[in-house]
Structure 1
Amino acid sequence: MRGVQKLRNILWLGLKELRSLAADVFLLGFVIYSFSFTVYSQATGVSHELRSASIAIVDEDRSALSGRFAQAFLPPFFQRPQIIPLAEVDRRMDTGRNTFVLDIPPDFEADLVAGRQPVIQLNIDATAMMQAGIGASYIQEIVAREIATFLGREAEPAVELQIRVAFNPNLTTSWFTGVMAILNNITLLAVLLSGAAVVREREHGTLDHLLVLPVTPFEIAMAKVWANGLVITVATGLSLWFVVHRLLGVPIAGSIPLFLCGVTLYLFFATAVGLLLGTLARSMPQLGLLFILVVLPMNLLSGGSTPFESMPRPLQLVMSLVPSSHFVNFAQAILYRGAGLDIVWPQFVAVTAVGAIMLAIALLRFRAALAAQSQ
C-alpha cells in the first residue's frame, strides 16, 4: 500500500513539474527552440562540402582549351565562372568577391601542345577555409581532366579503386550534423531542466512548501526526473521525425522506438547530473557556470564532434566511464547503421549501470540538501 502511495505522490509531483514548466515561458521556449530551429540551423548553416563557390577566370590565352575550363565548373559545386581581366584580380580578391581566381597565361594551349610545361596560377581566398581546402583539390582535378581530354591522353589506370561510402553515400553534412545536434541538445536540456527545477523551487520558495507535505525527498526527486525526462523524450521524437527526417530529408535507418528507449535510459543519468548541479547551485547564474564546466566538455568528448579513436588513450579510458560516449555510440549505430538491440545492448547496459550510480549519488545529495533546507 505504501508503494502505491509513493507512485501516486511521484505522479502528482511530476504533473506539478510539468505545469510549472508550462508556466515558465522562457524555459519552454528554449526547449522548443533547441529541438527545432537550432537543429535545422546547425544542419544547414555549416557545410563541409563544396557548395556554390565563387570562381573567376582570367583568360589570357583565348584558346579552345581555355574555353573548356570556363565550361567545366558547374553548379552545385561552383557558381558560373566570371571572365575577368588580369587587372581585376587583386581588387576582387581583396573585396572577397571571389574565393578562387584561375589565371590562364598567354599561349597556354600552344605551349602544352608543343610539350612545354606551362603554369596555371590559382589564387585562393583562404579566409573561406573550408571551401578553400576542398575547392583547390576540386579545381586541380577538373583542370587535369580537361587537359587530358583535350590532348587525348586519357589512359586506364593500372589499378581501379572502387570507393563505396556506407550510410551516407553523398557525404552530406546535414545528415550528420542534424542528428548530432539532437544528441547534444538531449544532454544539454536534460541537465538544464532538472537543475533549473531544483533552483527554481528554491528561488520561488516552493521547496519549503514541499517539505511540509507528506512526501519524501526520493519522491520529489523522482518526480522531477520523470517529468523533465518525458519532456525531453517527446521533444526528441518530434524533432527527429519532423525536423531531421521530414524537413532535412535525412533517412532513419534503424528503429526510432529503440532509439527512444535508449534516450530514456540515458536521461536517468543526464537528469541525475542536473539534480546534483541544482543542489550545488544557489541561483540560476551559478547553475549556468556549473553547466558550462560539466556539460560542454561532456558533449565535446563524447565522440560526436571528433572520432573517439582519435583521442589520447587516457582520455578514451576516462570517457568510457561517462554514459554520454555510450549514448552517442548507440545512437549513431541505430539511426545511421540500422543496428538492433542485439548490437547495442552493451551500450544500453553501460548507460543504465552508470546512470543508476549517478542517480543514487544525486538522490543522496538531494536528501542532504533538503535536510539542510528544513533546519
Structure 2
Amino acid sequence: MRNPISKKVAAIEPSGIRKFFDIVSEMSDAISLGVGEPDFDTPWNVREEGIYSLEKGRTFYTSNSGLKELRVEICNYLDRKYDLHYDPLEETLVTVGGSEAIDAALRAMVDPGDEVLIPQPSYVSYLPCAVLADAVPVIINLKAENNFKLTKEELIESITEKTKILILPFPNNPTGATMDKEELAELVPIIIEHDLFVISDEIYSELTYKGKHTSIGSFPGMKERTIVINGFSKAFAMTGWRLGYAVGPAEIINQMTKIHQFAIMCAPTNSQFAAIEALKNCDEDVNKMVEAYNQRRRYLLNAFKEMGIECFEPHGAFYVFPSIKKFGMTSEVFATKLLQDEKLAVVPGTAFGDCGEGFLRISYAYSLENLKTGLERIRRFVERLENH
C-alpha cells in the first residue's frame, strides 16, 4: 500500500503548546498557566445576541465575505480605534478565527520559492502555514536585549531578492513585546524600498498597556501592501466563537475570499451576529478586562523579581516570557520537571522558535488566585534548584 500521507505535511512538527496540556488533562491537581485563552466569560450582551440570532432562526449561510453589517462595523471599529480606513464590501473578509486569515493570506500571496520573513519567538502557526503555501520561511531571531522587537538592521539583513512577505506579529505571542509608532516608522521605508508585503497580526491590539496600539497599515504607502489580521478571541473573550477578519487591498482580499469560499464557505452565522454587538457596545467591557490583565501583569513581574528570575517587561498581549537560563537546563527540561514535580504546566520558549531557548511562556489570562497558586509552585521549584 502506498504512503497516504503528504511528505510536506508529515514533516511539520505538531504544536509544541499542546503537548503539555494533553499531559495536564490526565493529571489530578495539575494546573496550567500556559493557554492563551481569556478566563473571562464573553460579555453577556454578546452572548444574548448570539442566543437571539438562534431563536430568530438566523441559521443560514452568510455571504462568503461575511455579513455586510458585520463588515461595516469592523471597518467603523478600525477607523475609530486605529486610524485604518477600509471598504467593507471590497477590502474586508470575515474568517474562522485569525488563524484562518493567516493561512488564507499566505496561500493567496505566495508562489513556490517566495521567501516569507518570520520574526521569532512568535505564534506557532506562521511557519507551518508558510510551508503549506510552498513558501520558504526565513526566520529572524529576535533578541532579549532588544525587548524582542524587530529592528531595522535585523530586517535589512534578512531580505533577499526572493523575499516577498514580512509577518509582523505585534503585540507578540509569546513575549508580550509591542512596537510603538516610532519603532514601526523605522521599518516602513525598508519595506517600501524592497517592495515587500506585510501580514500584520494584530489580534492582541486591544491588550496594550503602554500607550496606544499603532498599526503599520496606517502609515503612508503601507495600506496597499499590508494585510491586517485581527479578531474577537482575545479582546472580547470569544475564543470558542471562532471569528476573525482580514482587511487589506481589494485584489488580495478577493483572492483570500476565493480560498475561503472553497475551504470554509462562511464563518459561523450566530457568531457574526454576536460580533456586531461586541464591536458596537463592548468598549467598557474590554477596558475592564484590560485593567484586570494589567493588574495580573504587574503581579507576575513583581513575583519574578522577588524570585530573582530575569523577565523583561511586556507591554502587550497577556504573556510574560521569563528567562530560566541561569538554571542551566533547557526550556523543555525545565517545563517538564516543573510539571512532574509541582504539577504546573507552562510552555517552553522553544515552542515558538529555537531562539526561545532559555525562556518560558506564562499566560496571565487566569484569575489572580490561579496565578498565586502557580507562582508559589514555581517558587518552591526554583528554591529546590538553587539549594541543590
TM range (shorter): under 0.3
**Higher strand proportion (structure 1 or 2):** 2
Greater C-alpha Rg: 1
Give TM-score, length-normalised by structure 2. 0.21
**Higher helix proportion (structure 1 or 2):** 1
Give TM-score, length-normalised by structure 1. 0.22
